[in-house]
Amino acid sequence: MTADTTEPEECATGPAERRREQRGWYFYDFACSVYSTSVLTVFLGPYLTSVARAAADAEGFVHPLGVPVRAGSLFAYAVSASIVVAVLAMPLVGAVADRTGRKKPLLAASAYLGATATAGMFFLAGERYLLGAFLLIVANASLSVSMVLYNAYLPQIAEPDERDAVSSRGWAFGYTSGALVLVLNLVLYSGHDSFGLTEGEAVRICLASAGVWWGAFTLVPLRRLRDRRTGPEEGGRTGGGAVGSGWGQLRATLKDMRRHPLTLSFLLAYLIYNDGVQTVISQASIYGSEELGLDQTTLITAVLLVQVLAVAGALGMGRLARSYGAKRTILGSLAVWTLILAAGYFLPAGSPVFFYCLAAAIGLVLGGSQALSRSLFSHLVPRGKEAEYFSAYEMSDRGLSWLGPLVFGLAYQLTGSYRDAIISLVIFFAVGFALLARVPVRRAVEAAGNPIPERI
């Protein structure tokens, strides 16, 4: 096992060096969040659905690999498929990163693969729904793999009492970039005629620009973050040896995780409630456009509102966690999520004002619930196993969040109603709340061998 061979002096840094790395770390959120916002949440769902419908038969079905799929379900199924691909890759990448101590090259490879696939969405036109589904699968899976490595830096660059604040600032950076690029997208999309562009061309430019942004700003964390040296036995292994040992280490990690049942209990709770969060994020634009009949400008403005309020929400919930602890603050956010979905089910069609109110509520809890979940989990990771354990976390974050989109897509396929699909997500938040409430987080931190923060 490599976990015990990480040299403490290599992880310890002074305050100035730690702050420098933290600032660089924030910028990966700044880089990749534009994909999550502009591509996954706003533009790709409605656009890929329109491309699929252009290729559909008279009954509204496309036939990828000969399988009949309702055009309106294609996007949800592609998101679900991308997560299955990520599940296969993330544990191996996490094991190799911890075994070799070389997170940065793996972060660069996954980030630039995702950025390239996103930039390639410029060529998604006509009836190329298979190209769109393929690029979505590659980009989404690459993002998930890169987030394993990105999150694994958190315990190494922040002291235990700093992590809630550092994690929240990272999310705030991401939502800031998402808002900034959405403003530019809104200008281009709403004024496409004055720029001499068709509506489809404007959408494709918005999609591709997210990939360019992702690739450009990834340079900042790659310059600021540093790899930590592993022990002498593992440090000399490279290439195929590292990959081969990664599979062996992965098996050992899965066995080792059974020695930390409280950490696994948190992961189970997070898997379930975050499945609901990720599905709401990825399917919101479909719900707004198809069920509520809202135009693309309204959807962009609503998501922009989410981004702006999510910055305040992430920072505000970080402050609440200092007073009430991360666990209680997360539980409060899950109660709000449940109310949001219930309100969304009854939202009247063609009413932008009510949709904006719902978007504001989502913004206030979205960033905080995710940021505090990440920082809380960082306390439950045994030292030296950060990338491996965060691969399991990322499987819960994006990697195992395939069930929500699948249920959403199946509900629509069976009923033809997006309202029936959206109400099914309430169960994810209710069950997640119940499971998280049962986790004794102080005992979980102690069992992982980590210092217990004053508030958790």
pLDDT digits (tens, 9 = 90+) for 355-407: 999 889 988 888 788 888 888 988 888 877 776 777 667 665 555 566 777 77
* pLDDT value at residue 322: 85
- CA terminus-to-terminus distance, the chain: 29
CB 2 within 8 A of CB 249: yes
pLDDT tens, 236-255? 344 444 444 445 555 666 67
Tell me the percentage of the chain whose pLDDT exceeds 70: 89
CB 109 within 8 A of CB 91: no
* pLDDT value at residue 454: 78
Residue 219 scores a pLDDT above 70: yes
Q: What whole-number distance in Å separates Cα of residue 217 and Cα of residue 213?
A: 6
* pLDDT value at residue 34: 93
pLDDT tens, 266-289? 988 988 898 888 888 777 777 888
* pLDDT value at residue 237: 41
pLDDT tens, 417-454? 788 888 888 889 999 999 999 999 999 998 888 888 87
Model confidence band, residue 229 (pLDDT cutoffs 50, 70, 90)? low
Q: What whole-number distance in Å separates Cα of residue 282 and Cα of residue 127?
A: 22
Using DSSP's 3-state secondary structure scheme, residue 67 falls into coil
Q: What whole-number distance in Å separates Cα of residue 137 and Cα of residue 132?
A: 9
**How much is the pTM?**
0.72
Residue 335 scores a pLDDT above 90: yes
* pLDDT value at residue 161: 79
CB 81 within 8 A of CB 137: yes
Model confidence band, residue 16 (pLDDT cutoffs 50, 70, 90)? confident
CB 216 within 8 A of CB 109: no
Q: What whole-number distance in Å separates Cα of residue 352 and Cα of residue 418?
A: 17
Residue 8 scores a pLDDT above 50: no
CA dist 95 to 106, 342, 390, 392, Å? Answer: 11, 40, 10, 10
* pLDDT value at residue 11: 44
Which has the higher per-residue pLDDT, 385 or 198?
198
* pLDDT value at residue 55: 87
Per the structure block, which two tokens stand in for 407? 């249920």
Residue 256 scores a pLDDT above 50: yes
pLDDT tens, 110-149? 999 999 999 999 999 888 999 999 999 999 999 989 988 8
Residue 294 scores a pLDDT above 50: yes
CB 428 within 8 A of CB 272: yes
* pLDDT value at residue 133: 93
